[in-house]
Every structure is written in structure tokens, then in C-alpha cells.
């Protein structure tokens, strides 16, 4: 702790938020690098290549059996979640809506390109050294980006766009490595990403935030809050995420019963979470009033926790129990844990990602481990057990109890990569070269955006009508005075 404090003090000096050269340079150079790398490595897979016609005839297939028609509806839903859901959820700050939705757009657009490459090198590199890209690659790239957007939630309003690009570059790299270890090496199942996406992204962002701790952030406290219309915009993001989360958790499941079951499980978890969130929010607020922060965020925690066990036989009542518990844990986290972490652990979590993503992600990992360990042939059937847990090839002799241990190991890997990687990346982002704002200049769009001037006053219809009536009265009086003078 002492070494970290000394490092912070060494890096703290007068801030210069001018990114006139650094931001264009980073964007142009990195996009040029993407073009070169895509030219060298990226090719269409057999289902998106023009040779599909020949492959289709040779394999006696029809166009409707192309994976595009199975996966694209889910991809579309996930894509909306990434750009609209996450983006609008971050518009709750009264003076940081441009930064919330705009920088979300920037992170996602760069991150998905880098994710296609990183995940391709680990999972889809063929014998020719080429990455074959199809619709499932696009879904997985969006998943990868989600981890970085979650991390951004902890840093919202406190970092520069250049820092966010660096955060994304390292975040995508770490994600690809931990995902490969968890899914391919350890052989854990995590269809909806409770461990791989939410646990990693949550603790990655929290660790970076700890390294970037601002002791004088209270100087910007006047802007660290919402207003009526900003909360309404954020609620739009919540509703998009809530509606499409079943697609998120089922997008890459096996066609058939696995995908079907994942959508049902997530649907029920989300519904249960809403009621318990409302209950706890009302219970702990003065006069039983609801806090919009809880409704915007904690109502989504059930979808996070359902991710790992989404395709397992969790049973409908089990889904309701998971959602019930997550609503309580997440809402209490906003009420008690977030202030505690800022005061005692020096972790400033702008969006409360610890309560929405990190803790529910851990809960999801635990639920997945327990559900996997208790799986049986009586519940799944032999073929169902093999198909659900992919007990094939070198894992054909694995039993459910062992699989439960592998699930727990996967959760530990996600935690280690999130915390360890976040500390390292946070140390890099602490360097005084990235154009981040001063402590008294955070949460304000004017630092990095051209913000239109606000009109001093906008006349209401009532004011306009009064103005017209007064004008009519004045004209009437003027006419009467003129006639009076004419008579005299």
C-alpha cells in the first residue's frame, strides 16, 4: 500500500487535458495497424465465403442452414446491448452524457476489431495461419468488448479518451488470454460470461480505479450526480439491457435445448431480481421511496448471475432463487458497500460496477460450480450430460463433480486476471502523459467535447399565451386612446 501511494504521488502533477495531437495519433495509428493485421490474418469462414455455394451443394445443405440465420438475431440483440444499452446506462451524470455514450461508442468500435484478432489467434487460427471469421466471431468480439465497457463504468468521468483506448487495448488482450485459459484449458462452461466477462471486467475496472485514486475528487462533487432527465436517459439503457439479456446469455449456446434453456433461465432470473430490488430499495430509503440508482442497475444483476449456469438444468424455481438473492446483494451493495469502498479501500466506483457486475458475476460462478457438480444422468440424460458439459475428446472421462471443480477454478482465474491485470494497467494509466482531467474538473463533458451553449430560458406555452394576451391588451388600449384623441 505504501509503495502504491508513493507511485501515485510521483505521477501526480499539474494536469493538461489537451488531447489535440495524442487522441488523433492514437486513433489513426491503431486503426492503420488494424487494417494491416486484418489484411494479413483475417479471411471469411466457409459459411460467409463465396465458395459456400459449392460447399452447400457438396454437403447437401440449404441456405437456411447457414449459421448466419441461426445466430444473427442474437448478434443483433447483443450488438444493441453493447452500443445502446451500455451507452445510455452511462448517461446518468448531469454533465457527462456525451462522454458516457460517446466514449462507449469509441471503446466498442476499437475493441471489437482488436477482439476479433486476439480471439482469432487463440481460437480460430487455421493451418494456413489465417483467422476464419463468421457470425459467431462477431458475437464473441462483442462479448470481449463488454468486459472493457464494464471497466469503463468504474472510471466514468475521471479519465481521458486516450486512457480509455489504452485501457481497451490491454483489457481485450487480458480478456482473450483469460478466456482461453478458462474455456479451453480448464474446460469451464460459461455461456453468458458471469466469470469471463462480468467478474473479469468488474474487478479489472475496480483495480484500475484503485490505482487511479483521486484524493480530492470531492472538488467535482457538484457534478457527480444526476438530474431528472439524465436518469430517464439512463433508464432507457437499463430497459434495453434488461430486454435483450436472454439473447446475450444464449447467443453462443448450442442450437436446440441449450439455447432455449439459457433464454428461459435468464428471463426468470431477471424478473425475480426486479421485485427484490424494489423491495430492498424501498425498505432502506426514507419514507419508502425508491432510489433510481437501484432501479437502473440492480434490476440487471440477475442476468449477470445467470450467465455461467444459463444452459444448465438450473430449473425455473432455481432461477427465481438466484434472481431473488442477486437483487438483495446488489441493492445492499449500492447502499452500504460503495461508500465503504470509497472511504476505506480508496476505490472510487462511479457506476457501481462492483454491485452490478463484479459481485453478481462471482455469485454466477459459484452457482455454476454448484449446479455442474450436482448434475446427474437422471436429470440430464447421458447424451444431455455429454452435450451440455462438452464431455468429449480428452474430457470424455470427466464426471460432473470434477466439472464443478473446474468451474470454481475458472472463477479464480477470472479474479486473478481482473485484479492483477487491473493493477498493472492502472499503473500505466497513472503516468502523467494521457491528458486526464484534474480532480476539480471531472464528470464534465466540456473537458473533451464541444458542448452547445444552454439557452438561458425557454418560454413555456403558458408564458407565450400570457405574452400574446398582454400584447392584445396593449394594442386594444392603444386603439382606444387613438380614437379618444381623434374625437377630442
Beta-carbon contacts of residue 256 (< 8 Å; ≥ 6 apart) = none
How buried is residue 454: exposed, middle or buried, by Cβ count under 10 Å (0-12/13-18/19+)? Answer: exposed
Residue with the three cell numbers 455461456? 191
Find the radius of gyration of the CA atoms of the chain. Answer: 26
Along the 488 residues of the chain, how does pLDDT read in single tens digits? 566 566 556 566 677 889 999 999 999 999 999 999 999 999 999 999 999 999 899 888 999 999 999 999 999 999 999 999 999 999 999 999 999 999 999 999 999 999 999 999 999 999 899 999 999 999 999 999 999 999 999 999 999 999 999 999 999 999 999 999 999 999 999 999 999 999 999 999 999 999 999 999 999 999 999 999 999 999 999 999 999 999 999 999 988 999 999 999 999 999 999 999 999 999 999 899 999 999 999 999 999 999 999 999 999 999 999 999 999 999 999 999 999 999 999 999 999 999 999 999 999 999 999 999 999 999 999 999 999 999 998 899 999 999 999 999 999 999 999 999 999 999 999 999 999 999 999 999 999 999 998 654 444 444 545 554 555 555 555 455 554 544 44
- Please tell me the distance from the alpha carbon of residue 99 to that of residue 85, in angstroms, as a whole number: 15
Q: Which residues pair with 42 in a beta bridge?
A: 131
Q: Where are the domains of the chain?
A: 85-98+150-159+170-439
- Domain 85-98+150-159+170-439 in CATH 3.90.1200.10? The answer is no
- Please tell me the distance from the alpha carbon of residue 189 to that of residue 375, in angstroms, as a whole number: 13
CB 221 within 8 A of CB 439: no
Residue with the three cell numbers 493538461? 16
Beta-carbon contacts of residue 364 (< 8 Å; ≥ 6 apart) = 192, 194, 195, 198, 199, 304, 305, 306, 307, 308, 309, 322
Helices 257-284 and 316-332, axial angle in degrees (round to 10) = 40
- Please tell me the distance from the alpha carbon of residue 281 to that of residue 288, in angstroms, as a whole number: 8
CB 112 within 8 A of CB 141: yes
Cell of 168: 481497451
Amino acid at each position: 500500500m505504501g509503495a502504491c501511494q508513493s507511485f501515485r504521488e510521483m505521477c501526480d502533477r499539474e494536469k493538461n487535458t489537451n488531447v489535440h495531437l495524442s487522441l488523433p495519433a492514437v486513433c489513426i495509428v491503431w486503426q492503420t495497424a488494424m487494417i494491416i493485421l486484418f489484411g494479413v490474418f483475417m479471411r471469411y469462414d466457409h459459411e460467409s465465403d463465396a465458395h459456400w455455394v459449392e460447399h452447400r451443394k457438396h454437403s447437401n445443405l440449404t441456405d437456411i442452414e447457414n449459421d448466419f440465420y441461426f445466430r444473427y438475431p442474437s448478434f443483433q440483440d447483443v450488438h444493441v446491448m453493447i452500443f445502446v444499452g451500455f451507452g445510455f446506462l452511462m448517461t446518468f451524470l448531469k454533465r457527462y452524457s456525451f462522454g458516457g455514450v460517446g466514449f462507449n461508442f469509441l471503446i466498442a468500435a476499437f475493441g471489437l476489431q482488436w477482439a476479433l484478432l486476439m480471439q482469432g489467434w487463440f481460437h480460430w487460427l487455421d493451418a494456413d495461419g489465417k483467422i476464419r471469421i463468421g457470425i459467431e466471431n462477431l458475437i464473441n468480439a462483442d462479448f470481449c468488448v463488454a468486459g472493457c465497457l464494464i471497466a469503463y463504468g468504474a472510471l466514468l468521468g475521471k479519465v481521458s479518451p486516450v486512457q480509455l483506448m489504452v485501457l481497451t487495448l490491454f483489457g481485450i488482450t487480458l480478456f482473450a488470454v483469460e478466456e482461453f485459459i478458462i474455456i479451453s484449458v480448464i474446460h469451464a462452461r460459461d455461456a453468458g460470461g458471469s466469470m469471463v466477462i462480468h467478474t473479469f471486467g468488474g474487478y479489472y475496472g475496480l483495480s484500475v480505479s484503485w490505482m487511479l485514486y483521486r484524493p480530492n475528487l470531492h472538488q467535482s462533487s457538484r457534478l457527480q450526480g444526476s438530474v431528472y432527465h439524465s436518469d430517464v436517459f439512463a433508464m432507457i439503457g437499463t430497459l434495453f439491457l434488461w430486454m435483450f439479456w436472454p439473447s446475450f446469455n444464449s447467443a453462443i449456446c448450442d442450437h436446440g435445448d441449450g439455447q432455449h434453456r439459457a433464454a428461459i433461465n435468464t428471463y426468470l432470473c431477471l424478473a425475480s431480481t426486479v421485485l427484490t430490488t424494489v423491495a430492498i430499495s424501498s425498505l432502506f430509503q426514507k419514507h419508502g421511496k425508491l432510489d433510481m440508482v437501484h432501479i437502473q442497475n440492480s434490476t440487471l444483476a440477475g442476468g449477470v448471475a445467470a450467465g455461467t449456469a444459463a444452459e444448465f438444468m438450473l430449473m425455473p424455481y432455481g432461477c427465481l432463487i438466484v434472481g431473488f438473492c442477486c437483487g438483495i446483494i446488489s441493492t445492499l451493495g449500492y447502499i452500504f458497500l460503495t461508500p465503504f469502498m470509497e472511504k476505506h479501500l480508496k476505490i472510487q466506483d462511479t457506476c457501481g460496477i462492483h454491485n452490478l457486475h463484479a459481485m453478481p458475476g462471482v455469485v454466477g460462478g459459484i452457482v455454476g460450480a454448484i449446479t455442474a457438480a450436482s448434475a446427474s444422468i437422471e436429470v440430464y440424460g447421458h447424451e444431455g450430460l455429454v452435450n451440455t458439459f462438452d464431455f468429449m475428446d480428452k474430457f470424455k472421462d470427466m464426471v460432473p463433480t470434477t466439472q464443478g471443480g473446474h468451474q470454481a477454478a475458472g472463477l479464480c482465474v477470472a479474479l486473478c486476471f481482473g485484479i492483477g491485470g487491473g493493477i498493472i494497467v492502472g499503473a500505466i494509466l497513472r503516468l502523467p502523459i494521457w491528458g486526464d482531467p484534474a480532480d476539480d474538473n471531472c464528470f464534465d463533458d466540456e473537458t473533451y467535447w464541444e458542448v452547445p451553449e444552454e439557452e438561458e430560458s425557454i418560454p413555456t406555452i403558458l408564458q407565450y399565451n400570457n405574452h400574446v394576451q398582454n400584447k392584445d391588451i396593449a394594442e386594444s388600449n392603444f386603439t382606444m386612446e387613438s380614437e379618444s384623441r381623434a374625437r377630442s
